[in-house]
């Protein structure tokens, strides 16, 4: 040892930049490492000079290994403890993240259930409305056709069965009033008039009405009055049937069912002037299409409605002669006159029809017979 060297103790090196780095890494909560305690000299003699225990001049200013290891151990131990222990903030963050994940899973489950429900509702809508609407429409249409057919059959059956006898309000014509006033037995019940005899007495009225029909048509005439005009051959046909055949006989067809309906409408209008409501028109045609043409023709020529065609109305349509004959017999029993119109397509007229006082049958020509054969 040199005498010039000062006898001063060796200073303990501070942590320096390493302590600052540990403080920055651990944050404000990290505790700085404590300086190591001074160790005894290697000789173990108390009170020895510390300069003698240090190495040579080459170790000036550098800490000894025994002093550096505790610093390293303290620094490394402090850093490791800070990384492994997250602290209360990190635990709270983990708790919040766990709750958010649970809520997210619940929301995802609810969304999946709603999607399944949406798909089910869409399938139900397609199967209930769009898919089955056509089938429902077909069933409704079929039921409607069934009801129409059933009602038509019921109407035909009702025509054959007299359920309730409806009272008829008789409106006598002016000629009937004059005859009643001139008759001494005015209080006697009226009997069914004989058509042929009355026609001979009513010749002026019949000719007057036929002359009116030859003029301009009255499109606004009251119902049951002729709204169309007649030509001279048609008027001559009616004159012959009224005055020479006595209202019982066949006349040649005019060539079409519509024109035959016009002839029948003119006869109905004249009979209405003669008998009021004491007669009923019965039309015989073998097919529904022919009856439809008769109904439309009479409805157009007389200004009638659909309510005027029926068992208890002014005109009744029949497809079979037996039902017509039964209806005519009932009318005669009630003191009324049946007026029978036979379509030109009926090639055979039942003999029982010929016994009634008023009937008009249309005899078809060769062209009409051929046309009907072609249609059949």
pLDDT digits (tens, 9 = 90+) for 167-216: 545 555 555 555 555 544 444 444 444 444 557 788 889 999 999 999 88
The whole-angstrom separation of Cα 271 and Cα 361 is: 16
Q: What is the pLDDT of residue 11?
A: 52
**pLDDT confidence band for 371 (50 / 70 / 90):** low
Higher pLDDT, 316 or 178: 316
Model-level pTM?
0.49
Sheet with 337-342, strands from edge to edge, namely 248-252, 358-363, 337-342, 279-284, 315-318
The whole-angstrom separation of Cα 123 and Cα 128 is: 8
Count other Cβ atoms within 10 Å, centred on residue 273.
Answer: 17
Task: Provide the strand spans (E) within the chain.
Answer: 248-252, 279-284, 315-318, 337-342, 358-363
Q: What is the pLDDT of residue 310?
A: 85
Pick the range with the lowest mean pLDDT from 83-97, 151-165, 227-241: 151-165
Q: What is the pLDDT of residue 164?
A: 52
Geometric angle at alpha carbon 264, from 282 and 281, rounded to 5°:
20
Q: What is the pLDDT of residue 144?
A: 87
Q: What is the pLDDT of residue 365?
A: 80
Q: What is the pLDDT of residue 114?
A: 95
Q: What is the pLDDT of residue 82?
A: 45
Geometric angle at alpha carbon 334, from 186 and 242, rounded to 5°:
75
Q: What is the pLDDT of residue 46?
A: 44
Q: What is the pLDDT of residue 153?
A: 82
Q: What is the pLDDT of residue 330?
A: 92
DSSP designation for 220: T
Q: What is the pLDDT of residue 127?
A: 74
Q: What is the pLDDT of residue 174?
A: 57
Higher pLDDT, 70 or 87: 87
- Mean per-residue pLDDT for 23-43? 46
Question: Is-contact 229 215, C-beta < 8 A?
Answer: yes
Q: What is the pLDDT of residue 312?
A: 82
Q: What is the pLDDT of residue 314?
A: 86
Q: What is the pLDDT of residue 270?
A: 93
**pLDDT confidence band for 362 (50 / 70 / 90):** very high
Q: What is the pLDDT of residue 142?
A: 83
Q: Cα Rg for the chain, rounded, in angstroms?
A: 63
Question: Is-contact 12 38, C-beta < 8 A?
Answer: yes
Q: Which residues contact 259 (CB under 8 A, 6 or more apart)?
A: 234
Residue 59 clears pLDDT 60, i.e. is over it: no
Q: What is the pLDDT of residue 97?
A: 93
């Amino acid at each position: 040892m040199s005498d010039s060297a000062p006898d001063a103790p060796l200073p303990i090196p501070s942590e320096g930049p390493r302590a600052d780095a540990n403080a920055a890494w651990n944050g404000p909560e990290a505790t700085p490492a404590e300086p190591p305690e001074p160790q005894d000299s290697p000789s173990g003699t108390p009170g020895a000079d510390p300069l003698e225990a240090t190495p040579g001049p080459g170790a000036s200013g550098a800490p000894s290994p025994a002093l550096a290891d505790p610093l390293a151990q303290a620094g490394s131990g402090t850093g490791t403890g800070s990384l492994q222990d997250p602290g209360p903030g990190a635990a709270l963050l983990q708790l919040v993240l766990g709750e958010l994940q649970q809520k997210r899973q619940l929301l995802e489950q609810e969304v999946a259930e709603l999607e399944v429900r949406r798909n089910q509702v869409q399938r139900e809508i397609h199967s209930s409305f769009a898919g089955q609407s056509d089938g429902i429409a077909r069933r409704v249409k079929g039921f409607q056709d069934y009801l129409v057919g059933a009602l038509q059959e019921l109407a035909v059956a009702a025509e054959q069965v007299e359920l309730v006898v409806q009272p008829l309000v008789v409106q006598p014509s002016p000629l009937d009033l004059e005859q009643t006033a001139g008759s001494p037995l005015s209080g006697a019940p009226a009997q069914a008039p004989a058509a042929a005899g009355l026609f001979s007495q009513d010749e002026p009225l019949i000719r007057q009405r036929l002359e009116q029909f030859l003029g301009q048509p009255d499109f606004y005439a009251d119902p049951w009055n002729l709204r169309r005009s007649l030509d001279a051959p048609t008027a001559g046909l009616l004159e012959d049937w009224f005055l020479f055949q006595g209202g019982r006989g066949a006349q040649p067809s005019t060539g079409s069912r519509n024109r035959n309906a016009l002839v029948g409408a003119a006869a109905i209008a004249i009979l209405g002037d003669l008998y009021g409501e004491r007669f009923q028109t019965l039309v015989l045609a073998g097919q529904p299409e022919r009856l439809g043409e008769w109904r439309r023709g009479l409805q157009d020529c007389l200004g009638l409605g659909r309510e005027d065609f029926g068992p208890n109305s002014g005109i009744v349509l029949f497809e079979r002669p037996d039902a017509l004959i039964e209806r005519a017999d009932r009318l005669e029993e009630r003191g009324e006159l049946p007026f029978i119109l036979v379509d030109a397509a009926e090639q055979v007229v039942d003999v029982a029809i010929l016994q009634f006082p008023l009937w008009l049958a249309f005899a078809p020509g060769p062209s009409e017979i051929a046309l009907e054969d072609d249609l059949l």
